[in-house]
Chains A and B, each alone.
Chain A
Amino acid sequence: MSLDSKVPQGPIKDKWTDYKNHIDLVNPANKRNIDVIVVGTGLAGGSAAATLAELGYNVKAFCFQDSPRRAHSIAAQGGINAAKNYQGDGDSTYRLFYDTVKGGDYRSREANVYRLAEVSANIIDQCVAQGVPFAREYGGLLDNRSFGGVLVSRTFYAAGQTGQQLLLGAYSAMNRQIGRGKIKMYNRHEMLDVVKVDGKARGIITRNLITGEIERHSAHAVVLGTGGYGNVFFLSTNAMGSNVTAAWKAHKRGAYFANPCYTQIHPTCIPVSGDHQSKLTLMSESLRNDGRIWVPKHMKDVEAIKSGTLKPRELAEEDRDYYLERRYPAFGNLVPRDVASRAAKERCDAGFGVNSTGEAVFLDFASAIQRYGKETAHVKGLDENDAVLVKKLGQEVIKNKYGNLFQMYEKIVDQDPYNTPMMIYPAVHYTMGGVWVDYNLMTTVPGLYCIGEANFSDHGANRLGASALMQGLADGYFVLPYTIGDYLSNDIRTGAISTDTKEFEAAEKEVREKLEFFVTNKGSHSVDYFHKKLGKIMWNKVGMSRNVKGLTEAIAEIKALRDQFWKEVKVPGTNEEFNEELAKAGRVADFLELGELFAKDALNREESCGGHFREDSVELDGEQKGEALRNDKDFAYVSAWEYKGEPSDAVLHKEELEFKDIELKQRSYK
């Protein structure tokens, strides 16, 4: 099957408006006869479920958590972008579009990104109307801050808990519809398969995580808003339950999986402290507005800091290497995430890492505390030369801006970041790859839609900060509700879909057999044993830095690990009860397949792009010497993989990316 992106014709600024003017609509009286399933209740799924219900469709929403309010969007910290230009600093729809395409290293679809930028301003209006308490200035207007990869202040925020507040906004919109009976909510339910009838997605198979009951649910269309698959690395900033299962089952039923190897490695996370660790914690990128990143210039100081004989604060300014400011004077500490991550790895690989494992750099607030302290003292007419006072005033400002993040850091690391620099290191965060969708957000399976992080379309090879929340809500509130109507307009005479058909029966049988296998297999290793092994292979060979040899080995090792998993996995308990190990087993089984496709995709992409550094693709001379080298001639495409059984048999389809409104050029943040 060839890929048709269905991007509308015409100038980019008119595409979405023209499209909306010409699609088919469903009469309100007919919407009552149409059912839509939404899987996942984060920013994308939650906002979609609420909006579809409000439009009049019957929505069934599913989440594996005990409440939709717990979806992992809740953990997003820094903010949400919108081209409001409230600050008058030159922002516009075009500039947000441009920054996003450039930040994504020219591997996203232009038309989708433009639409995202176009609806971004509406998102803020919507959320404020819903009672989302964004940060305000003293005049009562909304406050903004800046994020990596851009030169304007367009990020709206609610302290370091923007994701939580936006998710609670979507959750409250859902609650209103649940209260009205327009959404039927299924908590603690996991989707385990998509059911196709006559080639169209017509339902799902779920497992009730409390009772183990396998259920059939039908609908006229199915929407996946199930988030990312960063947990394929075992250690990531994702919630423990975040998984690829829904997307992977969709893939197995015919949905192409796009750019699986695109994973964002976030530069500012708390470093790994030991083998016991179950997950990594993100420190918001917004900290880079005020924190300066450095390592010592000299190896002797690195050793002294590691051994504790030298406190980081005591190292003289001239002996510090503020490597981002040195290498990228224009953007400094606010370079995009991929650039910041690679630069940290480069310094640590060269031996300058500052913690016991050698995998940490400093994020230092001393000069910001000093600057803010002096400013506050000046405003209040106090003594600017009183060092103690200035420090105290400065710390108060920092506390107002980032207090919860500092507290989180202190609880985990047991150090006070107001008085000693934070230690940070890159960690797996967000997956830009995902289920392939066209302009309508429909997958290659008719009637199956995919939104938010679970799809691939908007972020290219690297996601700029504060754009994940934007995409989730744009898809759910403002894009899908239109595009899905165009499809459903053909279903007004279909009537209710029966779950009593051979297609549902077959899908249910397959699901049951797999669950049965897990609880009866007499293996010798826990699910986590395999998950951790997979994670190590992925991080060491398919992580931030890749080469042909490592990737080839990874593919073979993952395949072997998968074989071992199916022979030796051990799952206690039964299917007919609350059984977290059983739920995990299914998720890790899917990660073991995805992991191989991920490595295969990385091997295919012979270019450095976004956070994905191919060691054989690097600038050799000139101003960009040592920076990642992209190859537009051969790789300006989306790789979309078609399932054919084993991951090694997956067939590559290419969606050639066209850049008509932005010129493809080497990214420079110098």
Chain B
Amino acid sequence: MNLTLKIWRQKNASDKGKMVDYKVTDISPDMSFLEMLDVLNEQLINNDEEPVAFDHDCREGICGMCSLYINGEAHGPDRGVTTCQLHMRMFKDGDTITIEPFRATAFPVVKDLVVDRGAFDRIQHAGGFISVNTSGNTIDANAIPVNKHDADDAFSAATCIGCGACVASCKNSSAMLFVGAKVSQFALLPQGKIEATDRVLNMVKQMDEEGFGNCTNTGACEVECPKGISLENIARMNREYLSASLKG
């Protein structure tokens, strides 16, 4: 396949940035999208140009490092995948593909297609944990049985990889799906209940401080989430938040 790529180039956080066109040839449909970018970068280096910076690491859809806004969609046109799992067979010979960084005030651009998602970490510092000592002197794991459905739901919420596609897809750049997933995971498990009130209040407060917008139930986040995190988690967070606010 031969393709035209329109890529956002931005030297650093303070640079203005612009779209630049590139051509790549001989792209195999079996390549992943990132492997296609590897081909472009090899070409740029050989031509003494600077390669395009983009985030990636595990390349098997689990680390959450890769991002990219491809043809107006977070992680591109395929569903239920991260960019590293997106394959070129989703495109046609001669296509023009637009590639931009995830855009959100809370995700400043580092360089080209790389953004800083540190805001997610800071939300977790505010309460994304259960306050148990790491001493190993805890009770036996089977001492508190957990209903299988609750455990499965907690697991589904916990599968969030923190990639930020939910924020990038949202017209308000809301982080509610991300935060809702973590709040839900712990709210569904007996181990997390004790400090549930503080957790949800602190995490939501930090989320607002980071500059994420509000949720207006559009649902774009759920559609673009590579892990299929459900909107139910936002509902559960709202419920937790409401009850915490009443208590608090």
Residues of A participating in the B interface, judged by any CB pair closer than 8 Å: 47, 50-51, 54, 65-70, 72, 74-75, 84, 86, 119, 122-131, 133-142, 158-159, 161, 164-165, 168, 171-173, 175-176, 178-179, 185, 187, 210, 237, 239-241, 273-274, 276-279, 281-282, 407-408, 411-412, 414, 477-478, 526, 528, 570, 572-573, 577-578, 580-581
Q: Which residue of B lies closest to A185 (CB)?
A: B121
In chain B, positions 96-145 with a C-beta closer than 8 Å to chain A are 110-111, 114, 116-118, 120-121, 124-136, 138-142, 144-145
Q: How many A-B residue pairs have CB under 8 A?
A: 215
Answer yes or no: B72 CB below 8 A from chain A CBs. no
Knowing A130-B130, A130-B191, A138-B148, the reply to whether A125 touches B58 (Cβ < 8 A) is no
Q: Which residue of B lies closest to A411 (CB)?
A: B85
| A47, A164, A178, A526: the one within 8 Å of B159 (CB) | A164
Knowing A66-B117, A142-B141, A278-B59, the reply to whether A54 touches B133 (Cβ < 8 A) is yes
User: Is A69 touching B64 in the complex (CB atoms < 8 A)?
Assistant: yes
User: Is B81 touching A279 in the complex (CB atoms < 8 A)?
Assistant: no
Alpha-carbon gap, A135 to B155, bound state (A):
8
Chain A residue numbers with a CB within 8 Å of B117 are: 66-67
Alpha-carbon gap, A139 to B28, bound state (A):
49
Chain A residue numbers with a CB within 8 Å of B53 are: 578, 580
Chain A residue numbers with a CB within 8 Å of B135 are: 51, 54
Alpha-carbon gap, A453 to B58, bound state (A):
17
Q: Which residue of B lies closest to A209 (CB)?
A: B110
Chain A residue numbers with a CB within 8 Å of B125 are: 175, 178-179
Number of residues on chain B facing chain A (CB within 8 A): 80
Q: Which of A51, A72, A74, A136 has the most CB of B within 10 A?
A: A136
Answer yes or no: B55 CB below 8 A from chain A CBs. yes
Cβ distance B200 to chain A, nearest Cβ, rounded Å = 14
Chain A residue numbers with a CB within 8 Å of B131 are: 176
Knowing A72-B58, A412-B85, the reply to whether A172 touches B128 (Cβ < 8 A) is yes
Chain A residue numbers with a CB within 8 Å of B63 are: 65, 70, 72, 74-75, 239
Q: Chain B, 187-221, contact with A by CB distance < 8 Å: what is the 0/1 string?
A: 00101100000000000000000000000000000
Chain A residue numbers with a CB within 8 Å of B48 are: 572
Knowing A72-B58, A131-B191, the reply to whether A172 touches B28 (Cβ < 8 A) is no
Q: Which of B45, B57, B64 has the most CB of A within 10 A?
A: B57
Answer yes or no: B166 CB below 8 A from chain A CBs. no
Knowing A161-B159, A412-B85, A577-B111, the reply to whether A139 touches B145 (Cβ < 8 A) is yes
User: Is A572 touching B142 in the complex (CB atoms < 8 A)?
Assistant: no
Cβ distance B232 to chain A, nearest Cβ, rounded Å = 16
Q: Which residue of A lies closest to B206 (CB)?
A: A179
Cβ distance A408 to chain B, nearest Cβ, rounded Å = 6
Chain B residue numbers with a CB within 8 Å of A159 are: 155
| A129, A161, A237: the one within 8 Å of B130 (CB) | A129
Q: Which residue of B lies closest to A68 (CB)?
A: B121
Q: Which residue of B lies closest to A172 (CB)?
A: B129
Knowing A75-B58, A128-B191, the reply to whether A171 touches B124 (Cβ < 8 A) is yes
User: Is B87 touching A173 in the complex (CB atoms < 8 A)?
Assistant: no
User: Is A282 touching B60 in the complex (CB atoms < 8 A)?
Assistant: yes
Answer yes or no: B77 CB below 8 A from chain A CBs. no
Chain A residue numbers with a CB within 8 Å of B85 are: 408, 411-412
